Amino acid sequence: MPTPIQRVSERIAFAARTAFDRLPPEMVVSAFGVQYGHLSTAEGGDLFVTRLGWPMLDRLLPSQWYADGWYASHGSQLKGSTGNVYRVASRPAGGKSLDLVVKFSRMAQEVPLEVSTGFPDNVPPEVIANARFNSPMEEFGLVMELRGGGAAPELPRMLTQKPLAIYVPPETYQLWELGRSRSRFENHGHMLSRDQEHATKAIELDIRRMYVLVYGWIKGLDAEDAAEDAGLDAADLERLTVEVIAEMHERGFRVLDNKPKHFIVRPLRRGGGLLHREGALVYGLVDYELLQRTTEHQEAFWSRRRQIYRDLFRRRDEPSPASSATHLRPGRVFGVDYLYAETPDGGRVWTVGRNPGLFDYFLASRWHRTPRTKLSPRNEVYATRTRDGIDIVYRKSNVGVRPRADPFERRGRQIREHGYNSPFETVAIAEALRRKGIAATVPLAITRTGHHSGTARFLHDARRFRVHEPFRTPGAPAEPILIPDFDYYTLWASFGCSGQEAGATVDLETARARELLDDAEFKALAGQSRADLVALGIAGVPIANHEFLLSTDAAGRLERDARGKTRVALAMDALTAFEYQVLKEDRYQDLLRRISGQLGTLGVQKLDFSGNDVLVLLGLDGEFLAGPDGEISGTLCSFELMRGFEGLIGEPPEGVPGI
């Protein structure tokens, strides 16, 4: 029987001969957008190797550069660097060494940062005051994003050191030995844990262990050292610093202590001067522990993600191309097409449509822990902006719970007799109503949690589970789509944006990010919109800029009146509009009667119908969005207690009775 050390050696040998894309899932972890191959080392430490480093694994093993203090005894500490940073050639493997930069992370240490008043970057004082060193995984994530172009991927790639590996030696230390603050460390831990949520194998930071980052060496000299040979004076170095800062800003990044020591240039061997290509100075950027995104890049990042999402959403019913992800399996339930997959935490996701590009947007890790607003006093219904900047509404399904309605009141008896519709029924109802010309919110996905969540026996209603039992998940092993003791959520496009009216509206923040508005007009419009709300009697309500909606034409341009002004609207339910007295009782009652009548012509009844179930768009001029007939347009958003829909949705499988 092999010893533990032998098993580790066998594992490393297996890794060394296996391509990164062929590693078993239990060896691959991900953090801040970077994938790593994870190895336990013979010394008892942990080694995380990026895709860039994986082909050089034999020289990145700690035995090749860390053991016995090799990095210090055979390397040199980089002068002018802050912290412990070394350049070292690894021990040879296969007759080859590797030039490395070994950097000990200063995560959770105090930042001794003072920026002179002459520093050429306009960094707000509060950013300097709250400066922190990046954690190792966060730093690698930011560097990889910068290498990819950040906010401007069309620009030439910015040269950086290649992030190769992160090594965590097995030894533990007291906090004072590492200079760490527990509160600072906890902030890093929370950031990483949020990023790791729902991961099959999560990375956890250990406050008592060191973290060593390994980069590839960039040939050349830092700009300060090269200045004399290249004939550069202080003014030249300042101009270079300004140039680098500007190029980083174009890509949406900044370094809080940017300086010529961080710019690697290449002196020419003959004639002096520095290497240029196509008239531009060739330089590399080093030292990333204070690298961060600019505020503008963060906003633009969300805008791009939203635009990508909108483009995918418009094509959500297109068949999956042959190159689509193989873990997504197509299926159909009640006439609605889905792409289905299991998630690493044991959950399940059904994405409405056939476009595989939409799937990752609806994983629970993208929306379940983001700040949310509760929309219903009775049910778990929340509005949130996902980590990708997409505005959605998610509802916890009541399926399997007996409705708590008065059995001695006619409507209460009807509700109890019918029970709550399943998430698959609610999605099918919404899609069917939209096909029939009745406005309804747009379903995006259904998710099921990976953990059990039981219901008290006296509340349990098993009827929907029996009816749905013949419906099975696609692929093998197949299982019922609806299983008791799990929580189901339906995800919906936020009314008025994010696909609900693709090409018809755009929120105020996105309009600025897409340069439909300049900064001055954005600020003026945001201020005027809030003033208009107060004039309408809607005061003291916190409204975010992304909640204000602007009309756009078919080409995506803002619609403007003869005076060049654009109309601003706010989405709300009809009952809220009535309570704020912007929707009068007669129009409120008429709106509900009209929609109830439209449902009735289809044989459908909403058993608990109220103004909460109808969404409207209020123009800040006090007028509601109206249809061609001049009547207020209302959009249905609740489908759990509808009955009489059986003839509208797809046929159930053979042997499944109607409800």
**517 belongs to a structural domain:** yes
Count of domains for the chain: 3
Angle at alpha carbon of residue 529, lines to 525 and 531, rounded to 5°: 120
How far apart are alpha carbons 162 and 264 in whole angstroms? 14
> What residues make up the domain containing 509?
505-636
Residues 489 and 510 in one domain: no
Residues 170 and 27 in one domain: yes
Is residue 644 domain-resident?
Answer: no
* Beta bridge partners of residue 87, listed in sequence order: 76, 101
Tokens 């936020």 identify what position? 494
List, in sequence order, the alpha helices (H) in 368-436.
410-418, 423-435
Q: Are 361 and 353 in contact (CB under 8 A)?
A: no
Could you tell me if 386 and 510 are in contact, meaning their C-beta atoms sit under 8 angstroms apart? no
Strand spans (E) along 296-343? 329-333, 336-342
Kindly state the DSSP code that residue 613 receives in the 8-state scheme. Answer: G
**Which residue carries 């191959």 as its tokens?**
37
Strand partners, 506: 550
Q: What pLDDT, on the 0 to 100 scale, is given for residue 313? A: 86
Please calculate the CA angle 363-369-372 and round it to the nearest 5 degrees.
110
Does 29 share its domain with 134? yes
- Does residue 616 form part of some domain? yes
Are 526 and 415 within one domain?
A: no
Separation in Å, CA 327 to CA 449, 472, 475, 613: 18, 17, 10, 36
CA 495 to each of CA 317, 392, 491, 567: distance values in angstroms, whole numbers, following the listed order: 20, 8, 12, 17
Tokens in use for 488?
């189901």
pLDDT at 461: 86
Closest CA to 342 of 445, 482, 449: 449
Q: What is the pLDDT of residues 606-643, one digit of tens each?
A: 999 999 999 999 999 999 988 888 899 999 999 999 99
Low-confidence ranges of the chain (pLDDT < 70): 1, 80-82, 113-126, 194, 196-200, 271-272, 300-302, 304, 319-326, 344, 454-458, 497-504, 650-659
Q: Which two tokens mark 372?
A: 């949310």
Q: Please report, as a single letter, which amino acid is at residue 308.
A: I
598 and 463, same domain (yes or no): no
Query: Per the structure block, which two tokens stand in for 566?
Result: 């654009």
Query: Which stretch of DSSP H or E encloses residue 175?
Result: helix 175-178
In a domain, 178, yes or no: yes
Please check whether residues 69 and 10 belong to one and the same domain. Answer: yes
Distant-in-sequence, close-in-space partners of 75: CB < 8 Å, separation ≥ 6: 86, 87, 88, 89, 102
225, part of any domain: no
Burial (Cβ within 10 Å: 0-12, 13-18, ≥19) of residue 658: exposed
Are 61 and 22 within one domain?
A: yes
Whether 389 and 520 share a structural domain = no
What burial letters (b/e) apply to 382-393, b meaning 16+ CB within 10 Å? Answer: bbbbbbbbbbbb
pLDDT at residue 271 in the model: 64
471 and 546 share one domain: no
Do 205 and 326 reside in the same domain of the chain?
Answer: no
Q: How many CA atoms lie within 13 A of 173 on its CB side?
A: 12
Regarding beta strands 253-255 and 263-265, do their DSSP bridges make them parallel or antiparallel, or are they unpaired?
unpaired
Which pLDDT score, from 0 to 100, does residue 367 have?
86
Count of residues in the chain: 659
Q: State the Cα–Cα distance between residues 618 and 584, nearest whole angstrom.
A: 13
What span, in angstroms and rounded, lies between the C-alpha atoms of 176 and 156?
43
Q: How far apart are the first and last CA of the chain?
A: 60
Q: Residue 440 carries which DSSP code?
A: B
Residues 6 or more apart whose CB falls under 8 angstroms from that of 101 comprise 78, 85, 86, 87, 161, 214, 215, 216, 217, 286
Judge whether 621 lies within some domain: yes
Q: Is residue 546 part of a domain?
A: yes
Q: Is residue 393 situated within a structural domain?
A: yes
Please, are residues 195 and 204 in contact by the beta-carbon 8 Å criterion? Answer: no
477 and 569 housed in the same domain: no
**Do you find a cis peptide bond into 260, omega within 30 degrees of 0?**
no
**217, 87 in Cβ contact below 8 A?**
yes
C-alpha closest to that of 575 among 618, 543, 627, 529: 618
Using CA atoms, how far apart are residues 513 and 519, in angstroms rounded to an integer? 9
Residue 170 DSSP code: S
- Picking from 477, 451, 547, the residue whose alpha carbon sits closest to that of residue 505 is 547
Tell me which of 160, 186, 218 is where a domain ends: 218
| Kind plus residue range of the DSSP H or E element containing 349 | strand 348-352
Residue 87 · residue 101 · CB < 8 Å: yes
AA letter at 333: V
Query: In the sheet where 329-333 sits, what is the strand order?
Result: 329-333, 336-342, 348-352, 443-452, 486-493, 391-396, 381-385, 372-374
Same domain, 448 and 560: no
